[in-house]
Amino acid sequence: MNKTVLAAIIVTIAMLGFTYVAVGSAGGMGGEGDWVNKLAVLGAVVLVIITSFVVTKYVRQMQNDTATGKLAEENWDGIGEYKNELPFGWAVIFLGSIVWAMWYFLAGYPVNAYSQIGEYNEEVKAHDVKFEAEHKNMDPETLKEMGGSVFIVQCAPCHGLQADGINGKAANLTHRLDEKSVKHVINNGGNNFKTDYPGGMPPMLLQDPAQIDAVAKYVASGFKADDAAGKAAFLAGTCNTCHGENGEGMPSVAPKINGFDTAMVTTVLKDGKKGAIGAMPAFNNLTEAQVQALGAYVTDLSK
Amino acid sequence: MFHWLEKRPFFFAVAVFVVIAFAGLIEILPNFAQASQPVVGTKPYSTLELAGRHVYIKNSCNACHSQLIRPFKSETDRYGHYSLSGEYAYDRPFLWGSKRTGPDLMRVGNYRTTDWHENHMKDPAAVVPGSIMPAYGWMFKNTADIDTAYAEQLTVQKVFAVPYNKEIPLADGSKATVALADSLEGAHASALEEAKVIAADMKDQDVKDAVAAGTIPEIVALIAYLNSLK
């Protein structure tokens, strides 16, 4: 028995001993443990023995083997090289990788490659399809509920969670118009809604401050029938020719001023507006369903 | 050649590096160069906007606000189109940020207005309930540094060929020109013109008076910058 084999046996015993110390009791060598643990311990033992055999074999081969074969002509400081045949498996892998490289270059990478934007586009598309299917025919209650959640994200940062405009920092959506806004429009005209009402409204249709005050009060308080002075001023300013007798508005000519409806909300979202309070940007990133939902929600707020 | 190389470890290492780097060079560099070209519609900053950008950096807004919208639906729903590298072509340095204590500001100019910013910078919690952002009252009093902004404009025009005074194509097919004054006085005058437009939409009487008197408070420059983020 030579030194190598002796060393292998000692190492094997040492490793088996280590295995026993580490997992012996869990592996059920004392009779306990389930069969999964037993199998694992058996695997560990087999691994140790196979490793010892293989290592021993190659160490002995390195010690004893003499090389055979035809030497290549070239040598480097006396170190030569055999002209051996390429092993068959290597040849197969080599040729196979050439074929794979062609496929990868022509089809694999360009067609199947991962792209972050591609994944994003798929995510959006999948969402849109699902959304469309889920919200095909919404009943008014669902629409309003959806409008509420869109409102919190898109509108509440300016109009406030209660839609009251946060102490005049934005329009109060629980009420269509206040006196300040009406006066501002009469004095400055209005040309906010270029898409739906391309004509705009000329300024100074009324010039008498008393009449302007009366109209502002009449419009802001909701066209009360007993406000004769307001109504007279409203007619005197020819407001009714475009906005209608009771402020119901006229398609393509003038917006509704006696309350909110979905069409009014859509108009504002389309063009944004700039008035007595400040400016509001257009919100063209909302989907059609979201706009409808917001319309329903805001209409409901002012009821 | 190989016989020469294999006896010289240093040159051999250099040759190996060149061979390995070659694929990287032809794959990465052209794409990178193309992606960093300005996106159509990206404009250089005007003097006032750049002064506002300096205010933004000075107050470390980028410590809490990112300027980078990632391509996830949840982000694009809230902030708008995801960011493209070419959109940062004139950002020196870029202000991507690495933490969102507050929301992303990459396209804040699309959905916030001058008067909103004014209210918000004065008292954030009054506009956004529960906001932990501090108020930035001093911006209403400090004067914006137009000189530095103008110096930066001149520098980037010379060194990086930023196209001031040149026609820039916009997304809708039209052209725009960002003017760069040819003197410091001219830069102050054009910044003041811009500031007047902003101040007209503001409510703070002190700010309005300051702009009317010819000085530009930091808040006006900052709002000009925020409005330009689209």
Tens-place pLDDT, residues A189-205 = 888 888 888 888 888 88
| A271 located within any domain | yes
Residues B12 and B90 in one domain: no
Residues A10 and A146 in one domain: no
Chain B residues in contact with A119 (beta carbon < 8 A): 71
Q: How do strand A273-274 and strand A279-280 relate by DSSP bridges?
A: antiparallel
What pLDDT band is residue A25 in, cutting at 50, 70 and 90? low
Share of chain A above pLDDT 90, in %: 19
Question: Could you say which of A12, A36, A63 is where a domain stops?
Answer: A63
- Answer whether residue A28 shows pLDDT above 60: no
Chain B residues in contact with A169 (beta carbon < 8 A): 115-116, 119, 126-127
| A41 located within any domain | yes
pLDDT given for residue A196 in this prediction:
86
Rounded to an integer, what is the distance from CA B114 to the centroid of its chain? 17
Residues B207 and B102 in one domain: yes
Residues A30 and A152 in one domain: no
| Sequence-separated (6 or more) residues with CB below 8 Å from residue A131 | A287, A289
| A49 located within any domain | yes
Q: Using only the alpha carbons of chain B, give its radius of gyration.
A: 22
pLDDT given for residue A27 in this prediction:
56
Taking a C-beta distance cutoff of 8 angstroms, is the pair A208, A232 a contact?
Answer: no
What does each C-alpha distance from B23 to A274, B12, B29 come to in angstroms? 55, 18, 10
Domain count, chain A: 2
Residues A172 and A267 in one domain: yes
Taking a C-beta distance cutoff of 8 angstroms, is the pair B85, B36 a contact?
Answer: yes
Residues B12 and B110 in one domain: no
Residues B95 and B207 in one domain: yes
- Model confidence pLDDT, tens digit, residues A133-188: 888 888 888 889 999 989 988 888 888 888 888 888 888 888 888 888 888 888 88
Residues A144 and A287 in one domain: yes
pLDDT given for residue A123 in this prediction:
92
pLDDT given for residue B144 in this prediction:
96
Taking the CA of residue B228 and the nearest CA in chain A, the distance in Å comes to 13
Residues B82 and B180 in one domain: yes
Residues B6 and B69 in one domain: no
Residues B9 and B82 in one domain: no
Residues A58 and A150 in one domain: no
Asked whether the beta carbons of residue A120 and residue B119 sit closer than 8 angstroms, the reply is no
What is the residue type of A67?
A: A
C-alpha to C-alpha distance for B120 and B105, rounded to whole angstroms: 14
pLDDT given for residue A104 in this prediction:
92
* Tokens found for residue A251: 């398609």
Domain range for A8: 3-63
- Model confidence pLDDT, tens digit, residues A198-229: 888 888 888 888 888 888 888 888 888 788 88
Residues B95 and B162 in one domain: yes
Residues B100 and B190 in one domain: yes
* DSSP H stretches of helix in A80-227: 88-103, 109-112, 116-134, 140-150, 156-159, 165-168, 179-188, 209-220
Domain count, chain B: 2
For residue B68, the domain's CATH number is 1.10.760.10
What does each C-alpha distance from B149 to A291, B48, B192 come to in angstroms? 41, 8, 13
Which among A120, A157, A283 is the nearest to B72, CB-wise? A120
* Tokens found for residue A76: 């480097």
Asked whether the beta carbons of residue A158 and residue B116 sit closer than 8 angstroms, the reply is yes
Residues B19 and B133 in one domain: no
Cβ within 8 Å of B, A 81-140? 116-117, 119-120, 123-124, 127
pLDDT given for residue A30 in this prediction:
53
Taking the CA of residue B78 and the nearest CA in chain A, the distance in Å comes to 8
Residues B31 and B125 in one domain: no
pLDDT given for residue A127 in this prediction:
92
| A88 located within any domain | no
- Model confidence pLDDT, tens digit, residues A101-145: 999 999 988 888 888 899 999 999 999 899 888 888 888 888 899
pLDDT given for residue B81 in this prediction:
92
Domain range for B58: 47-228
Residues A57 and A145 in one domain: no
Arithmetic mean of pLDDT, A86-92: 94
| A222 located within any domain | yes
Residues B99 and B194 in one domain: yes
Chain A residues in contact with B82 (beta carbon < 8 A): 117, 120
Chain A residues in contact with B111 (beta carbon < 8 A): 154, 281, 283
Taking a C-beta distance cutoff of 8 angstroms, is the pair B100, B67 a contact?
Answer: no
| A86 located within any domain | no
| B40 located within any domain | no
Which among A153, A158, A281 is the nearest to B78, CB-wise? A153
Residues A163 and A297 in one domain: yes
Residues A264 and A173 in one domain: yes
| A68 located within any domain | no
Residues A172 and A293 in one domain: yes
Which residues of chain B are under the pLDDT cut of 50?
Answer: none
- Answer whether residue A31 shows pLDDT above 70: no
Which residues are registered as beta bridge partners of A79? Answer: A76
- Nearest 5°: CA angle at B193, between A274 and B111? 35
Residues A156 and A248 in one domain: yes
Residues A20 and A166 in one domain: no
pLDDT given for residue B219 in this prediction:
96
| A169 located within any domain | yes
* Tokens found for residue B20: 């390995």
| Predicted model pTM | 0.75
